Amino acid sequence: MIAQVFVYGTLKRGQERERCWPRTPQRIEAAEIRGELYDLGPYPAVVHGADRVLGELWFLKPADVEATLRTLDEVECFGVEDVDLYVRETVECRTLADGLIQLAYVYFLADPEHARSHRRVPARDDGFVEWNAEPNASAAP
């Protein structure tokens, strides 16, 4: 059973939707996935790609996975509307501290072309792309 969720935007610590997590994680580590990161204004979106997207890997207790995914699916508009805004997929995620590969759930924007009509987040000097917003800013799904 996968018990990790990788987040890259409003669900990260200090961001607008951090309060939406229904369970406390066992731990949180800096991590990366491969993708393209776009700034949609009040929230970001990831689509499949080769950039090194920086975020947080939330390690859950196995007993908390189902409730957590149910809540996050609602937050990310996956499986609760006629048309999904995001889709939940399983990807390989690499932790920064020790370089270990973990399988994790990630929410990708369901319509990659919509993302590509917005500003792509450029890589920093260290090669990572990272979405930054003012904490507690008003955010859409």
Collapsed DSSP state (helix, strand, coil) of residue 50? strand
Nearest alpha-carbon partner for 139 in 77, 61, 52: 77
Residue 82, pLDDT > 90, answer no
Give 3-50 pLDDT, tens digit per residue.
999 999 999 999 999 999 999 999 999 999 999 999 999 999 999 999
- What does the domain layout of the chain look like in residue ranges? 4-120
pLDDT band for position 81 (50/70/90)? confident
Class of domain 4-120: alpha beta
Residue 140's pLDDT is what?
Answer: 43
- Over the stretch 87-133, which tens digit does the pLDDT of each residue have? 999 999 999 999 999 999 999 999 999 999 999 999 999 999 999 86
Cβ atoms of 60 and 133 closer than 8 Å: no
- Give the pair of three-digit tokens for residue 38: 């776009």
- Tell me if the pTM is above 0.85: yes
